């Protein structure tokens, strides 16, 4: 498994939600810079931010789905 994913899975859900907001803000800033300047100094940061945000959201959704399955199984 990827080291980045392992780090993400070690965080609590609250920390992940904060990290998701930070990644979204970073992505927003990069997109604004791109639209304003028509060019980024480090274009790979845009891809990295998208992937990091997607990884975080995937882990959050996995946890929510597992929790929902546990609650359905307990009823």
Q: What is the pLDDT along the chain (75 residues), one digit of tens a residue?
A: 578 889 999 999 999 999 999 999 999 999 999 999 999 899 999 999 999 999 999 999 999 999 999 888 876
Q: What is the pLDDT of residue 1?
A: 58
Helices 3-10, 44-74: inter-axial angle, 10-degree rounding: 50
Per the rule left: phi > 0, alpha: psi between -120 and 50, beta: everything else, 38 is: left
Tokens of 9: 């899975």
Is 0.95 surpassed by the pTM of this model?
A: no
Q: What is the pLDDT of residue 14?
A: 95
Burial 49-63 (b: 16+ CB within 10 A, else e): beebbebbeebbeee
């Amino acid at each position: 498994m990827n080291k980045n994913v392992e780090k993400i899975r070690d965080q609590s859900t609250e920390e992940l939600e904060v990290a998701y907001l930070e990644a979204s803000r970073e992505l927003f800033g990069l997109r604004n810079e791109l639209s304003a300047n028509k060019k980024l100094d480090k274009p790979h940061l845009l891809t990295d931010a998208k992937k990091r945000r997607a990884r975080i959201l995937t882990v959050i959704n996995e946890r929510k789905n597992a929790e929902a399955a546990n609650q359905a199984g307990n009823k």
